[in-house]
Structure 1
Amino acid sequence: MLNKIRLGLFGAEDSIEIMKSVIVNFPEFTIVPVSYWQDDEIIEKLLAHEEKVDMWLFSGPIPYKFAKRGSGITKSMFYVPYSGSSLYKTLLQISYHQQIPFNQISYDTFRPDELRQVAVELEVSLEPLYVNCYEGEIHTDEVVRYHYELWKKGQTKAAVTCLKNAQHELLNLGVPAFRVLPSQSAIISTLSLIRQTQETIHFKDSQIAVQMIEFDSFLSLTKDSFSTDEIHRVEIKMTEKLLEYAKEINGSLKYAGPGRYVIFTTRGILQEATKGFTQVPDPGKRELTANDAVTSGIGIGQTVYEAEINSGTALLHAKEHGNGSMMVVFDDKTISGPLGQPEQITYDFSSEHLQSISEKTALSVTTLSKLESILRKLGKKEINAHELAQQMKIMPRSARRILTELEGNGLAQVVAEETIHPRGRPRKVYQIELK
């Protein structure tokens, strides 16, 4: 049986009260309400309550989008979509009390096609003309400015917003502003999705996780203490440290040969210890120091065998990044790391699409997947050899070889040259198309 889900409710106070009135009928949830007013409060308030919740439910897409772009928030996040029924109620209020035509109202949050569908269902022949739809987060003052400028020019007679603070500011400016609130049906639908997600997470948390650890005992020796007895003492000390670490993560330690150990535990425990597979576990908890030169790979799998194979693969990739590195291979054959590094990337080493490219070039699927992940992380298709070398932690000449190989096979082309130093050679900028 699953434990109760600690659900953080985030939004304006009145929206939270509406959500609470629905969620009280679902005993599997306990509620942690967190209200906000200003945009700049969102991340700070979420982080302050992050450890008190299992999942977040936002009253709408705007605070949700701010949270998605924030750092340090690791819990699953959902928001209540503004369904047709909640908009119908608002439009009926405007029609009944204000008698304002559909096409003389400005809207935010909704997509034009959603509003057109509402017009069809309400049998309104007028098209919505003023719709501020946005993909990412948007600040309240931008929403207010959009509605206010239209109203001030006489193009609209009212505004429909999904933000309480935007409605408040618009009313202060004299704009007839109406707000769309979460509907009961949309809240119930989102709660169902949250429950399904929690069941999936519970299953994943119970998956087998294997951490393969390798250390070089010679690095702990000095010239004066170089002896087989001293090496043996170093290994005994390391075993003691790893036993303490295994105890911390409820795992069992297995000796796997000189300088190599394996710990068996569960995905959920390691995910918590590594803060969502982004950080190296606290050295204090591991009873390890920086001088221990521990390199490790974490493998996740449906079976012990699969997890152990994946941990070995992760260790090999970690060793490419040097002593002290840690990588993770998941059961879907994606790999992530190095943990704790600002340049951490996640890539796939079993992609069929990249396999076909690999067969045409001298580049491995892993190299191509790393490149694809780096471009996705940077949010662009252009890169130079120096930048690629930094991201991949390889020599610039190796990065140039990768780019030249892609260019020779029609997968990259030089689109610019950058001159960093007056006497230096210009750096070629390549546009990559892994098709």
Structure 2
Amino acid sequence: MDGLRSKIAVGVVGPHDLVEQIVHIGASLPSAASFRLVGAPHAGEHETRDKLAKIAGNIDAVLFTGPLQYDLATQAGELPVPATFVPVSGAGLYSSLLRGTLSMRIDPARVSIDSIARADVAEAYQEIGVPMDGVHVSEYHQPDSVRDFVAFHERLHREGATTAALTTVRTVAHKLQAAKVPVLRMMPTPHTLRLAINTATLLGTGSRLEESQIAIVLVELAASARPAQSGPGNYWQQELKLSLHRSLLAEARLMGATVAPREENSYVITATVGALSQATDGFRVAPFADRVRADLGMVVEVGIGLGNTARDADAHALIAVERARAADATAAFLVGGDGSATSLPLRQRRRREPVEEPAAGSKAARTLDRLLERLGDDPEAMVVDAESVAEMLGVAPRSARRVLQSLVEEGLAWALPPVRSSQAGRPRQPYRLVSRAD
């Protein structure tokens, strides 16, 4: 499996016969050892997007067998991987006319042709020395054009204006055969297919290189979430940093990233562009910020930097986090390798324990107000445990633990990591109260 994944994977989407031909030609190319073709044939053009979706997670690029398949796929939304298609040109016209002349006795000067541009047809006819006065052309512009191809060919044949129809579209050919209209299906030449395969593998190589670029994410506590006084003796700050680190690690592990403290109130996450792109829906939403808010009730500023080297990515991340700070952490910012900045909105994530917003007069809210009155505005005093709550409320420690749990369930407090002591017994479980200002 590792050997297969080291090759550039190119999906091939289109009619069965063309997909089979492309896979066969690809296997004979001198560069075949560096890529693999993943066939996804469809029975009809309407299946194009579904066939691509089934292989998208295992390919680096996709080659459509023609512009029709490419346009149908893009109409359904942005493509998940870089894409190209086999071009429709006059190159396949020569062999089709020759086959028709020899096997069907058609008159090449009296035919109808679809898909190919009129200029390409004129060039081909000029080269073979046949006049175009009796040649009718219907160009391809968009998928809707194909709907008119059958009527175009059939009308001309019924009027006696043509001896045969030439089409590039498999379904059009089948419908014309059913209507008893002589038809030839124009296929791309092997040379055209080889060029298209090479183009697709180059796209896949570029995509693989881009995914392996370095991405650096800086996550900083917003000024409003920082303690008034800092230092190794500030218990609340130490618990805050541990909780933030734990929350960042939970999301970083999903993308194979590393997390490390950078400064007193910031962390640096290092990942590949490909992994970070997957975690952010293709860089459509901000990473980390929503999880930290949901888990801890804190606001963080997030800046993402991309680059070919760690130095470039880090420099761009610093610029990005400054942009996030200027926006009051309402969005993350990404600065790409070219220096362009993009705003990434926060994803709306629910808390791990989804609860409704407590009413102002609820029992838990009233209990919180009582505790806040006793504690004041000191951030470090906002960290409590069952013993301190029991003393303030005049209840037993067991009742105090139930009080704290009810506050957590209603989003009015969050649990910090347990504090172990040298004495035997249960580790002390601290909680941070969430004030109205938070």
Residue 184 of structure 1 corresponds to: 190
Distance 1:200 1:8, change over 3 A: closer
Residue 204 of structure 2 corresponds to: 198
TM-score (norm 2): 0.66
Asked if 1:11 corresponds to 2:17, the answer is no
Residue 117 of structure 1 corresponds to: 123
C-alpha distance after superposition, 1:120-179 (max 9, x if no partner): 221223257532223333364333233333334444332211111110011112222211
SS in 1 for 2:33: coil
Rounded to whole Å, the distance in 2 between the matches of 1:329 and 1:45 is: 34
Query: 5+ residue gaps in structure 1?
Result: 222-227, 342-435
RMSD of aligned Cα (Å): 3.4
Shift of 1:291: 4.3
Asked if 1:49 corresponds to 2:49, the answer is no
Rounded to whole Å, the distance in 2 between the matches of 1:203 and 1:144 is: 44
C-alpha distance after superposition, 1:398-432 (max 9, x if no partner): xxxxxxxxxxxxxxxxxxxxxxxxxxxxxxxxxxx
Asked if 1:248 corresponds to 2:254, the answer is yes
Distance 1:43 1:236, change over 3 A: same
Asked if 1:172 corresponds to 2:178, the answer is yes
Residue 355 of structure 2 corresponds to: none
The answer to which of 186-195 and 228-237 deviates more is 228-237
Distance 1:212 1:284, change over 3 A: closer
Give the counterpart letter for 2:254 in structure 1: E
Rounded to whole Å, the distance in 2 between the matches of 1:170 and 1:286 is: 61
Task: State which of 30, 39, 46 in structure 2 corresponds to 1:33.
Answer: 39
Asked if 1:260 corresponds to 2:266, the answer is yes
- Alignment of structure 1 residues 242-391 onto 2, 5 Å: 242-257=248-263, 259-280=265-286, 289=295, 291-318=297-324, 323=329, 325-338=331-344
C-alpha distance after superposition, 1:271-322 (max 9, x if no partner): 3333432344599999965944444222112332321222233334445666
Shift of 1:115: 1.0
Rounded to whole Å, the distance in 1 between the matches of 2:301 and 2:242 is: 18
> Considering only CA atoms, is the larger Rg found in Structure 1 or Structure 2?
2
Shift of 1:12: 0.8
Rounded to whole Å, the distance in 1 between the matches of 2:240 and 2:94 is: 72
Rounded to whole Å, the distance in 2 between the matches of 1:153 and 1:338 is: 60
SS in 2 for 1:338: strand
Asked if 1:78 corresponds to 2:84, the answer is yes
Residue 153 of structure 2 corresponds to: 147
Rounded to whole Å, the distance in 1 between the matches of 2:190 and 2:116 is: 18
C-alpha distance after superposition, 1:25-63 (max 9, x if no partner): 223333322121333222122212221322212111110
SS in 2 for 1:300: strand
RCO greater where, 1 or 2, for CA within 8 Å and sep 6 or more?
Answer: 2
Give the counterpart letter for 1:264 in structure 2: T
Rounded to whole Å, the distance in 1 between the matches of 2:340 and 2:296 is: 28
Aligned residues: 336
Residue 96 of structure 1 corresponds to: 102
Asked if 1:64 corresponds to 2:109, the answer is no
Rounded to whole Å, the distance in 1 between the matches of 2:142 and 2:288 is: 34
Residue 380 of structure 1 corresponds to: none
Rounded to whole Å, the distance in 2 between the matches of 1:64 and 1:137 is: 10
Distance 1:182 1:263, change over 3 A: same
Query: 5+ residue gaps in structure 2?
Result: 228-233, 348-438
C-alpha distance after superposition, 1:68-103 (max 9, x if no partner): 222263112122224544221111122334444445
Rounded to whole Å, the distance in 2 between the matches of 1:94 and 1:279 is: 56
Rounded to whole Å, the distance in 1 between the matches of 2:158 and 2:171 is: 19
The answer to whether the 8 A contact 1:116-1:127 is kept is no
The answer to whether the 8 A contact 2:213-2:273 is kept is yes
SS in 1 for 2:195: helix
Distance 1:315 1:137, change over 3 A: farther
Give the counterpart letter for 2:181 in structure 1: V
